[in-house]
A = this chain, B = another copy of it.
Amino acid sequence: MKTEIRILKRPTLKEPRLVGGLPGSGYVAKLVVDHLVKETNAELFAEIYSYSFPPQVMVKEDGTIELMKNELYFAKNRGNGDLIILNGNAQAVSPEGQYELSDKALDFVKELGVKTVYMTAAYITGEHVKKPKIYGTATDLASLREIEKFGVTIMKEGSITGSNGLLFGLAKQKDMTGICLLGETSGYIVDARAAQVVLEVLAKMLDFKVDMTNLENKAKETEKLLKKVEEMERRAMEQQSGFKAPPIKKPLEYIS
């Protein structure tokens, strides 16, 4: 196992907070972070490589490849401080890789002054909903009381797996505060609506504005997609009387 942080530029940051999200169920976390990077014109300053990422390269639209990696961006003066954004195209595939990467990434951002980590994730229900709720959990009770003010429903059970869980959870061991915001999603589609809800709350919490137009457009596409899925399911049920089509298990399309 080997995790390497390649520093492209070492920014000087004021009261930086980390916001992160890595590919997972419904791509909720990744959609949030992709949008945030774009809308804040955040600047890439470090890349994280791990021997535990899927052993492959991905071909981009321009024909060149990219390696599996996580990325750190910064955006200055967003609300009451600067912002560090953790994005990525992969999660480590082994427990050891997940822990090592989260551990090292947190040590690195702590050095840069981060005191609070906001991770995003999906809250999977198996049901399509029109207005996704936003759920939250944290490393401490004070943070829970804080996020409740923004309409976040506090979780009472369950687990958050992978980097989106470890990156705020391990903050506890490092005397940092960790918060996780989860958008309600069926888990069956790439869910831009859930991402939108998460990002709106996150922006309010961190006291800065994000243009939501692009994410809203994606959310509308998500909803059209959903209607198609439901129509297909309805027809399947009519044709095969007595047989209920099982929910579709994989993302139908990644609207990026």
Chain B, Cβ-Cβ closest to A170? B67
The contact of A63 among B55, B155, B178, by CB within 8 Å, is B155
- Answer yes or no: A93 CB below 8 A from chain B CBs: yes
> Would A160 and B59 count as touching, CB distance under 8 A?
yes
> Would B67 and A160 count as touching, CB distance under 8 A?
no
> Would B138 and A57 count as touching, CB distance under 8 A?
no
Q: How far is the CA of A8 from the CA of B255 in the complex (A)?
A: 48
Copies of this polypeptide in the complex: 4
User: Which of A65, A100, A138 has its CB near the most chain B CB atoms (within 10 A)?
Assistant: A65
Q: How far is the CA of A49 from the CA of B173 in the complex (A)?
A: 10
> Would B138 and A55 count as touching, CB distance under 8 A?
no
Stretch among A126-134, A161-169, A211-219, A241-249 lining the B interface: A161-169
The contact of A155 among B59, B93, B157, by CB within 8 Å, is B59
> Would B56 and A166 count as touching, CB distance under 8 A?
yes
Q: How far is the CA of A248 from the CA of B73 in the complex (A)?
A: 47
What B residues does A94 contact at CB under 8 A? 95-96
Which residues of A, 101-158, contact B by the 8 Å Cβ criterion?
103, 136-141, 144, 154-158
The contact of A144 among B63, B95, B178, by CB within 8 Å, is B63
> Would A95 and B156 count as touching, CB distance under 8 A?
no
Residue contacts A-B, CB under 8 angstroms, 27 given: A1-B96, A2-B96, A2-B99, A6-B173, A51-B103, A52-B96, A54-B161, A55-B165, A57-B137, A57-B160, A57-B166, A59-B158, A59-B159, A61-B157, A62-B141, A63-B155, A64-B139, A65-B139, A65-B160, A65-B168, A65-B169, A65-B172, A65-B180, A67-B172, A93-B95, A94-B95, A94-B96
Q: Give the 9 A-B CB pairs with smallest separation, nearest first.
A: A57-B169, A55-B98, A51-B99, A63-B154, A56-B161, A57-B165, A51-B96, A55-B95, A59-B155
